[in-house]
């Protein structure tokens, strides 16, 4: 990725100078850590940022005096591109940074100029390539994250153009980061899943023909999940029964129903697998789930269960229960 930088200046160069900083010289900043913050929650995330290449458009008085028309390159950069024109004597170059952390100084001198020749070159435009090491997007909450880095410009600064760099466009550069994180999220139930009919294992026939009381009533509803980021889950109850939902008959006899969730192995809660995890009631108590990897069309289940002791209460007060939701 590349970006244009608002950096222009004049650079005095001396061919064959004892100090490389008197040649056409530059040193880029090293790798930096930057914190970006979620617009709504203020939640921080840390990433690494580094400059990997630099390109400049450089004007000199003539080709033969140009420090970059035909040049030898030294230090921590390697040539990656070069365009030159005769009138005016304008060169646009691209240098790769060999080791962004830490970057070595780079300097060049023109092959055609005699040793000791002094030239003042004008840097008309600066661009750079960069790389960012961001947290995995599927572990980032949806929304916009913002942050910034500020670099110093000048001798001994983050962007260092050597000795006799004058007419600098500024003494600092601020890079603003905006990360727009958008996630796909689909919870898909098959048709008919708007009703969960709770039954004993094997159905009611055994009990109706004289068998002992069923051990429990339950229903497992399958679903398919697509998720590329973290999400939260909670339940809402028509009738609350402690930390569970209640179902009741027309006479207001009520029993609790446990509602639990099983998710694909790609999704974790507090670093562990999600298997029959009871769901809390209300948005404020919602459970946070994290994606270990993006989840695409994976199976999960929603579990409804009336425990054995409560089945006895239901059988003692038979009726058609109203819905819990």
| Predicted pLDDT of residue 142 | 86
Among 267, 183, 286, 258, which residue's Cα sits nearest to residue 223? 267
Q: Where are the domains of the chain?
A: 2-181, 185-316
Helices (H), the chain: 205-208, 308-316
Distance linking the first and last C-alpha atoms of the chain: 50
Among 183, 177, 187, which residue's Cα sits nearest to residue 143? 183
Quote the CA–CA distance of 314 and 309 in Å, as a whole number: 9
| Predicted pLDDT of residue 84 | 87
Residue 72, strand partner residues: 109
Quote the CA–CA distance of 139 and 268 in Å, as a whole number: 11
| Predicted pLDDT of residue 309 | 85
| Predicted pLDDT of residue 322 | 46
* Regions of the chain where pLDDT drops below 70: 100, 206-211, 319-325
Quote the CA–CA distance of 317 and 40 in Å, as a whole number: 50
8 Å CB contact between 221 and 276: no
Among 134, 168, 141, which residue's Cα sits nearest to residue 152? 168
| pTM confidence score | 0.68
DSSP 195: -
Count of residues making up the chain: 325
- Contacts of residue 180, Cβ cutoff 8 Å, sequence gap at least 6: 144
Helix or strand run (H / E) with residue 142:
none
| Predicted pLDDT of residue 216 | 87
8 Å CB contact between 113 and 119: yes
8 Å CB contact between 51 and 100: yes
Quote the CA–CA distance of 304 and 257 in Å, as a whole number: 6
| Predicted pLDDT of residue 24 | 96
């Amino acid at each position: 990725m590349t970006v244009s930088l608002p950096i222009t200046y004049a650079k005095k160069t001396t061919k064959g100078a004892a100090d490389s900083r008197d040649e056409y010289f530059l040193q880029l900043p090293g790798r930096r850590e930057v914190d970006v913050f979620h617009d709504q929650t203020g939640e921080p995330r840390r990433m690494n940022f580094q400059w990997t290449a630099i390109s400049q458009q450089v004007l000199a008085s003539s080709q033969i005096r140009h420090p970059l028309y035909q040049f030898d390159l030294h230090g921590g950069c390697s040539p990656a591109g070069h365009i030159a024109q005769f009138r005016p004597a304008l060169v646009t170059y691209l240098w790769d940074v060999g080791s962004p952390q830490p970057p070595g100084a780079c300097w060049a001198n023109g092959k055609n100029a005699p040793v000791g020749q002094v030239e003042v070159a004008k840097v008309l435009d600066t661009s750079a390539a960069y790389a960012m090491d961001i947290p995995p997007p599927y572990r980032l909450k949806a929304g916009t994250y913002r942050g910034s880095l500020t670099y110093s410009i000048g001798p001994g600064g983050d962007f260092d153009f050597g000795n006799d760099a004058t007419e600098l466009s500024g003494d600092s550069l601020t890079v603003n980061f905006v990360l727009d994180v958008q996630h796909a999220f689909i919870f898909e139930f098959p048709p008919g899943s708007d009703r969960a009919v709770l039954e004993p294992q094997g159905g009611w026939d055994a009990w109706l023909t004289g068998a002992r009381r069923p051990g429990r009533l339950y229903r497992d509803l399958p679903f398919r999940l697509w998720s590329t980021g973290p999400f939260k889950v909670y339940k809402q109850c028509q009738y609350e029964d402690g930390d569970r939902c209640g179902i009741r008959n027309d006479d207001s006899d009520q029993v609790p129903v446990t509602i639990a969730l099983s998710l694909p192995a790609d999704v974790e809660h507090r670093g562990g697998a999600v298997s029959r995890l009871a769901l809390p009631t209300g948005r404020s108590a919602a459970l946070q789930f994290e994606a270990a990897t993006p989840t695409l069309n994976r199976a999960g289940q929603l579990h409804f269960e009336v425990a054995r002791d409560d089945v006895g209460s239901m059988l003692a007060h038979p009726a058609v229960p109203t819905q819990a939701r």
